[in-house]
Structure 1
Amino acid sequence: MTDPDAGGDGEPDTDADAGPEFEPAAVEENVYELPQEGDMRVPARVYASDALLDEMQSTGDLTLEQVRNVATLPGIRRFALVLPDGHQGYGFPIGGVAAVGREDGVVSPGGIGFDINCGVRLLRTGLDREALRGREDELAESLSRRVPAGLGKGGYVDTDRDDVLGILDDGLAWMRREGYATDHDLAHCEEGGRLDGDPGAVPPKAVDRGLNQVGSLGSGNHFLEVQRVADVYDDATADAFGLREEQVCVLVHTGSRGLGHQTCTEYVRRFERAYPEAVDALPDRQLVYAPLGDDLAERYLDAMRAAANFAWANRQGVTQAVRDAFTHDLGHGDVELVYDVCHNVAKVEEHGGERVLVHRKGATRAFPPGHPEVPEAYRDVGQPVVIPGSMGTHSYVLAGGERSMELTFGSTAHGAGRRLSRTQAKKDYPVGELRESLRERGVTVAARSEATLAEEAPGAYKDVDEVVRVSDALGIGTTVARLEPLVTVKG
């Protein structure tokens, strides 16, 4: 498991031992299936190209074993899924999706992740690339100074315990009341930046860890990146998103920090104590679950939703710090939210005519055009999907695809997906050489930890171009624009 503030979605920090080999059968192009057998209640589906599947089958990667294990969960519907960026995680694979029935299903914290509502938000500015030329170092210093990053390190918003409880209850609505968000921000955020949770379900120690953390990046794979729109592939959708070529954008990737990690950790322990027989019967105890309807399951879901509210407020705090940097240091204050979408959460949704609880762990919601839960501004083109690449490579903006509801419970990938463990990346990528390589690519980096920089080297990740190509080919996410990094800020 990653460090509480490290920013991983729950992946192990070291290379795993080689697991058993599984050979998925090709169903159609970019679709593979592991048949239902043994204790599996449904088949497992893997959405990947041959190259991405080979990486999932590489020595030491347990992705396919883990998705088979997920298929054993009570109440699971249709398939246990792995998306194109899938890799080994804690219990569930990262890039995993599982939907369960509300009457016979379960909730598994491993299917959500320790960093509850880790997610990304894309900001657009009124600047073109040329306006920043020669000012990259200045901007990197300004953002690094204004946005706390690294383990601990405080937050943009000064909060006491009552403030944190208010944020856990109201999410972005609290930020709006306190002057840290606009009506536009709420209207362009998944769920309006608030789920109906219960602050009282969040463990007291977790609340304590949220003090003065609102508006902070943390460490690990979390980052803030200034980018330019390098290519537009769908003019109409890009126009609806307010994007154009050469425009300067900002991508924010962070979550619920130590508050979310502590919440998940404590509930995993409670589940293990409350359901020892179920734990003993599991193929992997990291899949520990509670039956929906049980008091403990509902208490966890209340806490998870409250922690999700904290994460949305956290990304909003970072947004305000970015606005300060552009306004006061660059003299350009036109910074608007395109969309904020989470990729570590469980929510009740309608699929196949049934209300089910959808676990998304390292997976992005990707609802298609016309879906009632897509913000009104984007309903004609589909929900914005933001897929970050690795540091120094491209990121992408997609729109929810027409086949997402049919194939993936309205989901697509959440990023490039790790190829190497953090431990191996530090061995393979000396920091000095990495900094020089990024500078040659035109990327200015401000990082508070040299070790974190090495862990997040571009070579530690899969090919994001291939991940996006597969999503587009499957029709679960339509490619809209490609973003090129200019300035990256990390903990």
Structure 2
Amino acid sequence: MDNSIQVLSDKASYIASKNTWIEGLAIEQLLSTANLPNMIKVVGMPDLHPGKGYPIGAAYLSCETIYPALIGSDIGCGMGFWQTEINIAKLSIDKLERQIGNIDQPDIRHKYNLGTIGGGNHFAELQKVSKIFDEQLFNHYQLNAKKLFLLVHSGSRGLGHQILQNQLSRFGYQGLPDNSPEALNYLAKHDNAVAFAKLNRQVVAERLMTNLNTQGNEVLNVCHNFLEKVTLAQKDYWLHRKGASSATDELVIIPGSRGDYSYLVQPIKCENLLMSLAHGAGRKWRRADCKGKLDKRYSMQELKRTKLGSRVICEDSSLIFEEAPQAYKSIDSVIESMQQVNIVKVIAQLTPILNYKTQGGH
């Protein structure tokens, strides 16, 4: 077990097997975050990669102080996963591609872009089960490998962005005493954004399933950018997760890039690793470097097909390069690292069929 836990200091460690690539800057950022006032412990996940000052793919435990900037602007961002009624036996990707339509315009119920996926690494993806590793758990959750699944990765859209901008303009990156009016005000707004993000994933799924003329059952809807109060050894702490899934959720799906597999897992709680998991594959290349590395080798049209035979709907020329599979780590190395430290039980592997990012034109 300990072979995959890399200890950096008495407060900082990260999970990585010998096959897991972690950028040096991400490790530097993890160490500097460990030195924030009242920070007790930080743990990097195997998808750890550099962010704007703080790394993404980590959990941070503090005492008596909260750090809104650690959570970032996409409060409540996470994964929703639905079992649809679309039969794999009668599958036509051409038909699905025609039917999926355009959901880039917001749902009329809310001003903060409700029901839209957003940019960056957010997406919705139709997937099929390619391997079942734990038949008993798969059946326990009444999953059906003969039907397609829908995965939605999105967050709190304009609402979370507004909350963080307001926070930074007033307090910068400093922490807030957890019993202060300012902290309580942030926490109320944070909880609202988490609820909005969860609803957003549901509305995205509804809109897509309506277009695809199907219905679905929600298997899970969990977030990986949020703050919660936890009690460890009879003492209260604040656990910040930035690109880290919670091991207290019953089920979690951990996606790779748009050209890689996703894994449905059952978390195994480990307090030493801050009851957290990876949330995805993690970036290997910075966004600004992607076009230069790829545009001489691939056209936009070529990047709309993947090595797994899936298709990509993305009419944003920057995004199609920034989110290319080559820009991400291998999801298998991330899953392997977590298995080695015994924090996941893998239930099934899923293969992408159709990945929706944006139809463009807005």
Mark yes or no: TM-score above 0.5. Answer: yes
The alignment status of 1:158 with 2:108, answered yes or no, reads: yes
- Closer, same or farther in 2 for the Cα pair 1:412/1:115, shift >3 Å? same
Tell me the equivalent position of 1:314.
200
Q: 1 CA distance for matches of 2:310 and 2:300?
A: 11
Tell me the equivalent position of 2:2.
28
Tell me the equivalent position of 2:216.
335
The alignment status of 1:111 with 2:63, answered yes or no, reads: no
| 1:71 aligns with one of 30, 34, 38 | 34
Q: 1 CA distance for matches of 2:239 and 2:140?
A: 28
After superposition, the C-alpha distances for 1:182-228 in whole angstroms (9 at most, x for unaligned) are xxxxxxxxxxxxxxxxxxxxxxxxxxxxx161110111211110010
Tell me the equivalent position of 1:330.
none
Tell me the equivalent position of 1:92.
54
Q: 1 CA distance for matches of 2:247 and 2:112?
A: 32
Tell me the equivalent position of 1:5.
none
Q: Is the 8 A contact 2:83 2:144 kept in 1?
A: no
The CA deviation at 1:253 is 0.6
The CA deviation at 1:246 is 4.5
The alignment status of 1:325 with 2:190, answered yes or no, reads: no
1:30-45 superposed matches below 5 A: 30-36=4-10, 43-45=11-13
* More divergent stretch after superposition (315-324 vs 356-365): 315-324
The alignment status of 1:436 with 2:322, answered yes or no, reads: no
Q: 2 CA distance for matches of 1:315 and 1:391?
A: 18
RMSD: 1.9
Higher strand share: 2
The CA deviation at 1:439 is 5.1
Q: 1 CA distance for matches of 2:235 and 2:207?
A: 42
Q: Is the 8 A contact 1:121 1:339 kept in 2?
A: yes
Q: 1 CA distance for matches of 2:209 and 2:271?
A: 39
Give the 3-state SS of the residue equivalent to 2:74 in structure 1.
coil
Q: In terms of Rg, which structure is larger? A: 1
The CA deviation at 1:99 is 1.6
Q: Is the 8 A contact 1:127 1:248 kept in 2?
A: yes
TM-score normalised by L of structure 2: 0.93
The CA deviation at 1:29 is 1.2
* More divergent stretch after superposition (448-457 vs 425-434): 425-434
Tell me the equivalent position of 2:86.
127
Q: Is the 8 A contact 2:227 2:240 kept in 1?
A: yes
| 2:191 aligns with one of 275, 282, 305 | 305
Residue type at the aligned position of 2:136: A
The CA deviation at 1:244 is 4.0
Q: 2 CA distance for matches of 1:241 and 1:352?
A: 33
The CA deviation at 1:262 is 1.9
The alignment status of 1:408 with 2:294, answered yes or no, reads: no
Higher helix share: 1
The alignment status of 1:361 with 2:361, answered yes or no, reads: no
Residue type at the aligned position of 1:83: M
Higher relative contact order (CA 8 A, sep 6+): 2
Give the 3-state SS of the residue equivalent to 1:442 in structure 2.
coil
The CA deviation at 1:317 is 0.8
Q: Is the 8 A contact 2:244 2:277 kept in 1?
A: yes
After superposition, the C-alpha distances for 1:295-352 in whole angstroms (9 at most, x for unaligned) are 112211111111112111211111211221232xxxxx34111001101000112333
Q: Is the 8 A contact 2:226 2:241 kept in 1?
A: yes
Q: Is the 8 A contact 1:255 1:312 kept in 2?
A: yes
Residue type at the aligned position of 2:71: I
Structure 1: segments with no counterpart, 5+ residues: 1-26, 37-42, 149-153, 165-210, 273-286, 328-332, 368-373, 375-382
| 2:179 aligns with one of 278, 284, 293 | 293
Q: Which runs of 4+ in 1 moved over 6 A?
A: none
Residue type at the aligned position of 1:107: I
TM-score normalised by L of structure 1: 0.69
The CA deviation at 1:440 is 5.3
After superposition, the C-alpha distances for 1:85-138 in whole angstroms (9 at most, x for unaligned) are 00111232101111223xxx2111232121111111111123342221xx2122
Percent identity between the two aligned chains: 31
Q: 2 CA distance for matches of 1:258 and 1:432?
A: 33
**Matched pairs, number:** 356
Structure 2: segments with no counterpart, 5+ residues: none
Q: Is the 8 A contact 1:140 1:488 kept in 2?
A: no
Q: 1 CA distance for matches of 2:307 and 2:299?
A: 11
Q: Is the 8 A contact 2:112 2:157 kept in 1?
A: no
The CA deviation at 1:292 is 1.1
Tell me the equivalent position of 1:40.
none
The alignment status of 1:450 with 2:317, answered yes or no, reads: yes
The CA deviation at 1:359 is 0.2
After superposition, the C-alpha distances for 1:468-488 in whole angstroms (9 at most, x for unaligned) are 111122111211111100001
Q: 1 CA distance for matches of 2:138 and 2:300?
A: 33
Residue type at the aligned position of 1:476: I
Q: 2 CA distance for matches of 1:434 and 1:441?
A: 17
Q: Is the 8 A contact 1:434 1:457 kept in 2?
A: no
Q: 2 CA distance for matches of 1:65 and 1:86?
A: 11
Q: 1 CA distance for matches of 2:198 and 2:129?
A: 25
Q: 2 CA distance for matches of 1:352 and 1:470?
A: 27
